Copies of this chain bind each other. A is one copy, B any other.
Amino acid sequence: MRYGLVGASGRMGQEIQKAFAEHTLCLTVDINGETCDDTPQVIVDFSNRMALPRTIELCRLHRAGLVVGTTAIVQEDIELLRKLGEEVPVVQSFNFSVGVNILKMVLRQFAPYLEDWDLEICETHHNKKKDAPSGTAILMREVTGRNCPTHSLRMGGVPGDHSAFFANEGEVLEFTHRALSRSVFALGAYRAAQFVVNAEPGFYSFEEVIACAPRKSSSL
């Protein structure tokens, strides 16, 4: 796969280069300027919304798909991305963790079958994290449609654990996600890029990417 990278020198840009190590970085955009050695099949942008207009321009220019994980984008940006999706495949999400997205899908689909069970959510994060409960825990509550008790532990350097516990008189079901490192989002971006290279034009969520069977690198 030949890919382009917006924000190549940032922390997230470094993580992405590690996750895409077996592939060819042929276009970079950065505060210091641009490089372009070849035509990318997909452009990855986890930088900031200021960069977005140029990113969209480059996708059009190279007819490259787009994976965009910029977190501060607004409705107006989404509209521009939808429009780009008419020409090339675009994957947009605020959270590129495969595990968190699957946890969300499991809870959305199965919580209705467990309505007569008790439900509580626990999340643990490092002690530098200010907000509680975490954004992901709030999302978990939202997809279950239940305003259940939620416990937030703030301890040491824990990257981030989330659990939903369902229990009735005779049994307990536990659905847990644990982040191991910051490489999570870069690995998700990689999965999205694999998807984009073979997809029809369109505007896709990361859940839609996951719901396609994973493709092997060799098939790209």
Contacts and interface: CB of A to CB of B under 8 A. Distances in A.
Given A105-B110, A211-B113, A213-B112, A118 B168 contact: no
A94 interface: no
A183 B157 contact: yes
Contacts of A116: 214
Nearest to A165: B155
User: What's the dominant secondary structure at chain A's contact region?
Assistant: mixed
A54 to B, nearest CB: 29
Of the four ranges (under 10, 10 to 19, 20 to 34, 35 or more), the interface on chain A belongs to 35 or more
Contacts of A180: 156-159, 167, 169-172
A117 B174 contact: no
B157 A153 contact: no
Listed from nearest, the 6 A-B pairs whose CB atoms lie closest are A156-B167, A155-B167, A170-B184, A157-B169, A99-B171, A174-B176
Given A97-B171, A170-B186, 5 more contacts: A98-B171, A105-B110, A113-B211, A113-B214, A118-B155
Interface of A: 97-100, 102-103, 105-106, 109-110, 112-120, 122, 124, 127, 149, 151, 153-159, 165-184, 186-187, 210-211, 213-214
